[in-house]
Amino acid sequence: MNKLLAEEIYYDMVLGRTFELAAKEHYMGGDIAGFLHLDIGQEGFSVAAMKAFDKGDVFTTYREHVMAIARGMDPKDVMAELFGKAAGISRGRGGSMHLFDPSHFFYGGDAIVGGQIPNAVGCAYARKYQGREDGVMVVFGDGATNGGAFFESINNASTQKLPLLFLCENNGYAIGTKITRVAPFEKQAKKAEPYMITREVDGMDALAVYESVREAQSLIQDGHGPVFLEAMTCRYEGHSVADANTYRSKEEMQICKGKDSIDRMEQLLLSQYGITPDAIKTIQKRAQNCVDEAVAFAASAVEPELAELYEDIFAERKNHAVS
């Protein structure tokens, strides 16, 4: 990977964490309502996956602030969405779990666990039908692989040889339930093995994630059909800000935080890319300024008009009658 890209990935990881720490503060302060799922600890995975899958369509889960920003959305528009403001990326209608931006081929954020998976299958079918070769990537958690929609989707995608990357972020927990209590094995790729090529990567190593997603994207573009890539990660916070994370021991959290992807990337920049400690500080400052501006923008933005309450709820009814 060249220096410019390594620096860009590091910046987006620092930006993601800074953004989420600010979001947490404003959630606790009452500026943000609803649920707030933080990606803190998993930034390396989220940023590298988005940077690697540079073209194509992306569907993801409710834990998606960092992915949305890494995909190219303006942090101001994302923060305004969390604040429920009209200037938000989903016009204040979606909130944290529904960041949606067709101009970046980013179709959410989905509050329904695994709900995005069949949507991605439909999109991949459409793209194949249209002869578009970029492919589709769907990101979901380990918990989502226990749902029926997941099994129907892998069956359909492999039968139809769809250009679809199933990217599983396995942090070992579905809310507070350890995955091995509700699935017969720790690695969820086993569920997809009979259907498609499967791969595993250390999700706390941003460069490794980047390389694995690139490789998987080439495979789906070359007509091999779908690929299942499993990234082993670790989230530092509870499932959402409302979850006190009491189900994990101090020792487990210590091991988890010892793998910090931002620290690892920073060491790499210093030791292999010749980036100076001063340059690292400048990047961190730039990220902080960007987040401060995003918060100021969101705080001063206006709320959606009450009169628009029922807009964008249902599709416009079209008359398909043929005369």
Ligand X SMILES: Cc1ncc(C[n+]2csc(CCOP(=O)(O)OP(=O)(O)O)c2C)c(N)n1
**Which of 17, 76, 239, 264 touches ligand X by CB under 6 A?**
239
Q: Minimum distance from CB of 178 to ligand X (Å)? A: 11
Among 11, 173, 195, 210, binds ligand X (CB under 6 A): 173
Q: How far is the CB of 175 from Mg ion (least distance, A)?
A: 8
CB-wise, 28 or 175, nearer to ligand X? 175
DSSP letters for 266-298: HHHHHHHS---HHHHHHHHHHHHHHHHHHHHHH
Size, binding site for ligand X by CB under 6 A = 13
Alpha-carbon gap, residue 124 to 128, rounded angstroms: 6
What is the C-alpha separation between 261 and 234, in angstroms, rounded?
A: 10
Place of tokens 């990881």: 13
Distance CA 218, CA 133 (A): 10
Nearer to Mg ion, 41 or 88 (CB): 41
Stretch of 169-177, 205-213, 247-255, 305-313 lying at the interface with ligand X (CB under 6 A): 169-177
Strand intervals (E) in 209-274: 227-232
Reading the block at residue 206, the tokens are 């941003």
Q: Is 302 in the site for ligand X (CB under 6 A)?
A: no
**Which of 109, 143, 163, 225 forms a contact with ligand X (CB under 6 A)?**
143
Binds 239: which of Mg ion, ligand X, none (CB < 5-8 Å by kind): ligand X
91 binds ligand X (CB under 6 A): no
**Should residue 113 be labelled a site residue for ligand X when binding is judged by CB under 6 A?**
yes
With CA atoms as reference, report the closest residue to 190 among 181, 178, 182, 199.
199
- 166 closest CA partner among 217, 92, 108, 222: 217
Q: Which residue, 26 or 63, has its beta carbon nearer to Mg ion?
A: 63
Q: Which stretch binds Mg ion (CB under 5 A): 31-39, 97-105, 166-174, 297-305?
A: 166-174
Give the one entry of ligand X, Mg ion, none that residue 111 binds, where binding means its C-beta sits below a cut-off of 5 to 8 angstroms depending on kind. ligand X
CB of 158 to ligand X, least distance (A): 22
Q: Are 206 and 263 in contact (CB under 8 A)?
A: no
Give the whole-angstrom CA distance, residue 21 versus residue 82: 13
| CB-based contact 95:84 (threshold 8 Å) | yes
Check binding of 171 to Mg ion (CB under 5 A).
yes
Stretch that binds Mg ion, among 60-68, 98-106, 172-180, 218-226 (CB under 5 A): 172-180
Q: Which is nearer to Mg ion, 175 or 296 (CB)?
A: 175
For residue 83, the cross-strand partners are none
Stretch that binds ligand X, among 17-25, 117-125, 135-143, 183-191 (CB under 6 A): 135-143
Binding test (CB under 6 A) with ligand X, winner from 112, 253, 268, 280? 112
Burial of 55 (0-12, 13-18, 19+ CB in 10 A): exposed
57 strand-pairing partners: 136
Q: Which is nearer to ligand X, 162 or 168 (CB)?
A: 168
Q: Is 144 in the site for ligand X (CB under 6 A)?
A: yes
Asked if 127 and 57 touch (Cβ cutoff 8 Å), the reply is yes
Alpha-carbon gap, residue 54 to 66, rounded angstroms:
15
Taking residues 123 to 162 in sequence order and writing x for each that binds Mg ion by CB under 5 A, - otherwise, the string is ------------------xxx-------------------
Beta-bridge mates of residue 173:
178
Judged by the rule CB under 6 A, the positions of this chain that interact with ligand X are 63, 111-113, 141-144, 171, 173-175, 239
